[in-house]
Amino acid sequence: MEFTFINLLAMAIDTLLIIPEMVHTIKGVRKINRCKTYITILDYIFKYAALILMFLPLGINKFGFKSVIGMLVYVFVNAILCVIYDFIFVINVKKDSYSTDFKLMYIMVLIFIISAIVLRHWLLLLVTIAYTITHYIVLKSLHDQYNAK
């Protein structure tokens, strides 16, 4: 396992994704999650596994790009998506909207998928698919709970 500048870029991306969630948690803006416990646990496991796989090249020797275009796509698209993610989070943090939660999930999943494809990190892609499914179930469950009231 070899570390390169790509690992540092991925750590920066992870940081930009985690900071808003930490602020959200510290401020105490939390939804009560009545989804089945095992789904919620799997959701967290897959999410943090994907975040770790973003910078840790498990299953491959080292991260690398096939071309300069691949590197540019990775850097600029992920940077733009991180800015959009943080912007949506900051603008909507007090609204506590499920459409916002879904938007944030889609952006995070896009970042994971783009990273997995460009870096040819197939384990990250598999974990991202699992995270998408479990997170969708959790968000849908939360949405259904609050619409039932």
- What pLDDT is recorded for position 134? 92
- pTM for this predicted structure: 0.83
* DSSP three-state, residue 62: strand
- What pLDDT is recorded for position 124? 92
Closest C-alpha to 18, from 40, 121, 26: 26
Q: What is the pLDDT of residues 122-144, one digit of tens each?
A: 999 999 999 999 999 888 887 77
Residue 73 CA to residue 76 CA, distance in Å, equals 5
Tokens of 55: 């910078």
- What pLDDT is recorded for position 80? 94
Residue 139 CA to residue 99 CA, distance in Å, equals 10
Q: What is the distance, to the nearest Å, from the Cα of residue 39 to the centroid of all Cα atoms in its chain?
A: 17
Whether 65 and 71 have beta carbons less than 8 Å apart is answered as: yes
b vs e for 61-77, b when ≥16 Cβ sit within 10 Å of the residue's Cβ? Answer: eebebeeeeebeebeee
Per-residue pLDDT of the chain (149 residues; tens, 9 = 90+): 666 767 777 788 878 777 877 776 666 555 555 566 788 889 889 988 998 888 887 777 677 778 888 889 888 999 999 999 888 888 876 676 778 888 888 999 999 999 899 888 899 999 999 999 999 988 888 777 767 65
